[in-house]
Amino acid sequence: MRNSFTAAGAACLFSLLMQVVPVQAEPLPGVILSKPLKTTTRTTGYPSIGAPVAYSDLIVVYARRYGVPVNLAHAVIRVESNFNANARGSAGEIGLMQIKPATARMMGYTGSTKGLYDPETNIKYGMKYLAMAHDLGGGTTCGTILKYNAGHAATRMNPVSKRYCGKVRDLLDLL
């Protein structure tokens, strides 16, 4: 008999494990690695994936509603804001998904800029944009990240999008 978890349950469990189990930065004695281990901290650019439970439920709801893989949605939010609902980017990006007000309006949002700090609102409109990026990117991780990060019209990976895709892939590998 196979054990199964819901995506929200798995994300919650992973979040709890990340709080209890330390991240190993050095190999165990006698272990030979083909490549160096990466620490999974915000300062090195490889953050852990665990989401606060309240956000995880919203992420699952809107990812499923718009057809975005739940693990990809969690990884994008971790890279974008580290699950900080009050995050503000240097180019005017707001909240958990770092969505710009103009982009949210393009997705149907009619509220104020301040309203995008609300986690559910931010996830709803950010996830709509991510879903379009996922479709336009052919369903691939890096194609999706390119379209989400550089805009739906982007056709070539730039250095920022390459780094972003690498971070998302690293997070997806943790799951």
Please tell me what DSSP assigns to residue 35: S
- Kindly state the greatest CA–CA separation across the chain: 59
Is 93 labeled as catalytic in the residue annotation? no
Backbone angles phi, psi at 99, to 5 degrees: -90, 140
Which are the contacts of 131, defined by CB distance < 8 A and separation ≥ 6?
66, 67, 68
What long-range pairs does 79-83 form, CB within 8 A, spacing at least 24?
79/47, 79/164, 79/167, 79/168, 79/171, 82/42, 82/47, 83/51, 83/52, 83/55
Count of residues making up the chain? 175
How much is the CA Rg of the chain, to the nearest whole Å? 17
Report, as residue numbers or ranges, the catalytic residues. 80
